[in-house]
Structure 1
Amino acid sequence: MAMMSPGKRRRNAPMAEINITPMVDVMLVLLIIFMVTAPLLVAGVPVDLPDSKAGALQNDDKPIQLSLDAQGRIFIDSLEIPADGLAEKLAALREARTDEARVYVRADRGLDYGAVMRVVGEVSASGFRKVALVSDGESKPAGRR
């Protein structure tokens, strides 16, 4: 048997090093994909929200999202609900949830205030006590958009 110097290994010895560079590359690509797609999954109905100085609410459970678009159509999450069937649908949602559910009302800025308040009144009459109006970030001076 030939004598080997301490710095050299045998030719047939298994490699004990792991190359993690490809794994890190894949994880960074997945992180970028999730960062780009996550904001797109929040709302399914396009609504031009009004501005507000109020901060975002902290929540632990998934709220019920009630949206009113520019034509006055009503959506619960992304399902369109006729105006005369809103009370029944809200009552069914209230009975199905055992916890104190939050309802987020998102209304287009061009809608009549009375139309929005009628929907908020229906939500309140259905037994929901945690109702929040959603706005779009910082308020801008009047006349600018």
Structure 2
Amino acid sequence: MGAKLSSGSGGSKFHIEQNSEINVTPFVDVMLVLLIIFMVAAPLATVSVEVKLPTAVAPPQENPPQPVFISIQENGNVFIGDFPTSLDAMGADLKVQIRTRDPEKERIFIRCDKSTRYADFMQVMNVLQDNGFYSVALVGEDGNS
């Protein structure tokens, strides 16, 4: 609050009138200081730590006595072992290859080129499931070398 001194008539040497206007300057100063504090503190609260994750390496597992490999090339060509096949004939060719073994228990290994389209891979997976081959393993390069 402020006071105003007047030299007019009054009972005392100085007559003090009250000033009822609000002084907003300290309020604005406090608000600007808080704004600056939050502007400086907000970027510090975000996580910006760069982390290079290691390659996940699973221990190698034993291969079955006669593993069946399906290879998918970048251009979409499909091979069972070393022999080319088509998506239409793949189910019958696989059943001929495993002969006496149970298709539901047989593990099929799929090898794909890095740049193979996901749609080509999914078509092979769908053909395998349609023909009763549900145990599928994906083959990748060893991350240790």
TM-score, normalised with respect to structure 2 = 0.52
Please name the residue that 2:134 is paired with. Answer: 129
Please name the residue that 2:124 is paired with. Answer: 119
Please name the residue that 1:143 is paired with. Answer: none
Cα gap change, 1:119 to 1:52, in 2 (>3 Å)? farther
Deviations 1:12-49 (A, max 9, x none): xxxxxxxxxxxxxxxxxxxxxxxxxxxxxxxxxxxxxx
Contact map agreement 2:111 2:139 (CA 8 A) in 1: yes
* Partner SS state of residue 127, structure 1: coil
CA distance in 2 between partners of 1:52 and 1:85 (Å): 35
Are positions 1:97 and 2:89 aligned together?
no
1:97 alignment partner AA: T
Equivalent of 1:53, from 53, 57, 61? Answer: 57
Contact map agreement 1:63 1:102 (CA 8 A) in 2: yes
CA distance in 2 between partners of 1:102 and 1:127 (Å): 11
Q: Which runs of 5+ in 1 are unaligned?
A: 1-50, 140-145
Cα gap change, 1:69 to 1:52, in 2 (>3 Å)? farther
CA distance in 1 between partners of 2:70 and 2:126 (Å): 13
Q: Which runs of 5+ in 2 are unaligned?
A: 1-54
* Partner SS state of residue 132, structure 1: strand
1:110 alignment partner AA: S
User: Of the two, which has the highest radius of gyration?
Assistant: 2
Deviations 1:48-88 (A, max 9, x none): xxx86333222342111110112211000000112322233
* Partner SS state of residue 62, structure 1: coil
Answer 1 or 2: higher relative contact order, Cα 8 Å, separation at least 6.
1
Contact map agreement 1:52 1:135 (CA 8 A) in 2: no
> Per-residue deviation at 1:93?
3.8
CA distance in 2 between partners of 1:130 and 1:57 (Å): 15
CA RMSD of aligned residues (A): 2.5
Please name the residue that 2:73 is paired with. Answer: 69
Identity among equivalent pairs (%): 25
- 66-75 or 56-65, which moves further after superposition? 56-65
1:73 alignment partner AA: N
TM-score, normalised with respect to structure 1 = 0.52
As a proportion of its length, which structure holds more strand?
2
